[in-house]
Amino acid sequence: MIKQKTTFVAENEGGGPSRRDLFADAAAGRSLWQDSWRRLAQNKLAVAGLLYLLLQCLLALLAPYLSSYSYADADLLLGPTPPGGEHLCGTDDLGRDILARLLFGARISLAVGFLATAVSMVIGVSYGAISGYLGGRVDTVMMRLLEVLYALPFTFFVIILMVIFGRNIYLLFIALGAVQWLTMARIVRGQVLSIKNREYVEAALTIGVSHWRIIWRHIIPNIIGPVIVYSTLTIPVVVLEEAFLSFLGLGVQEPMASWGTLIADGVGAMETYPWMLIFPSFSLMVALLALNFLGDGLREAMDPQAGLD
C-alpha cells in the first residue's frame, strides 16, 4: 500500500498537493497490523470469541479463589445432587462439586491447548523456514521426509506414548505438539519460498544486507500473519485431542480433571445424572466455538483475500 503511495507521489510531483503534505498523510496512515486489527474489531463473532476466551482463562486462573470446593473434595454421604443451591452445577456420583471440577479442568484443557500449540509452532516454523530458505537439495530432502511423516498414524503414536510412559501431563503437551507441526511447516515453507524470491529481497541482497537481517526484516514479518492464524486454528484441534485422549482414559489422572475426563464420567452416568454430561460438554463446546470464531476472524482480518477457507 505505502509503496504504491510513494510512486504516486513521484508521478504527481508539482501538480497535486505538496510532497510534505502527502508524507504527513502517510505518517498518519495505518500499518498493515492496524488494518488487520480494525477488521478483527469489526467482526462481532470474533470479538465475542476473544472476550469469552479471556473470561474463561481468567476463571481458570482464579479457580482456587472462586470456588469454595476443590476438584478433589469428595463427599460420599452427599452423593450426586442436581444443579442448584449450594452446588451450582450439581455434584457427581462421588459428591464432588462439578463447577469446581470444571474450573480446574479448564486449566488443564486450556494449558494443553496453548502449550502444545506453542510446541507445534516452534517445530513447524523452524522446520519450514529452514527448508524454504535454504532451498535446493536440503529442501527436497526435508519435504520428502515431511511426506513420509504425513503417512504416519500419529494419534496412535500419542496413544502408545501415553500408555507406555504413564499419564504425564508434560509428556502430553509435547506429544500433542509434536504431532501437529506438519501443516505449519508446509505453510511456512511455502511463504518463505515465495518471499525470498521477491524483488525487495533481491535488492537487499545486492546492497549487501546479511542473511540474518533479511530473515529478521523481510521474511519473519511476512510469515507472522499466517503463523498466527494457523496457530489459533490449531488450539481447538489440540484441546479436542486432549479431551479425546482423556475420554479414552489416557489423559490426566484422577482425581485431577480435564473437560475430556469430565465428559467421559458424564457419559457413564448420562441416564441417571444427565447434568454430569451436560455441563462439561457445554463448556468444551463453547470454548471450541469461541476459538474457531476467533481463528476465522483472524484469518479474514489478516488475509482479506482468502475467503472462508
| Residues forming the site for other proteins (CB under 8 A) | 147-148, 150-153, 155-157, 159-161, 163-165, 236, 240, 243-244, 247-248, 250, 260, 263-264, 266-267, 270-271, 274, 277, 281, 284-286, 288-289, 292-293, 296, 307-309
Rg (CA), the chain: 25
Nearest to other proteins of 72, 286 (CB atom): 286
CB nearer other proteins, residue 163 or residue 205: 163
Instruction: Report the residue number, 4 or 272, with the smaller CB distance to other proteins.
Output: 272
CB of 144 to other proteins, least distance (A): 9
| CA 100 distance to own-chain centroid | 25
In this structure, the chain runs to a length of 309
Helix residue ranges, H only, 12-97: 19-28, 32-42, 44-61, 63-66
HSE of 299 in the Cβ direction (CA atoms, 13 Å)? 16
DSSP code for 151:
T
- 30-35 own/partner pairs: CB under 8 Å, 24+ apart: 32/1
Query: In angstroms, what is the minimal distance from the CB of 75 to other proteins?
Result: 26
Smallest distance, other proteins to C-beta of residue 127, A: 17
Least distance between other proteins and beta carbon 50 (Å): 15
Cell numbers standing for residue 27 = 505518517
Comparison of 143 and 209: residue with beta carbon closer to other proteins: 143
Amino acid of residue 204: A
Q: How far is the CB of 238 from other proteins (least distance, A)?
A: 13
Nearer to other proteins, 127 or 133 (CB): 127
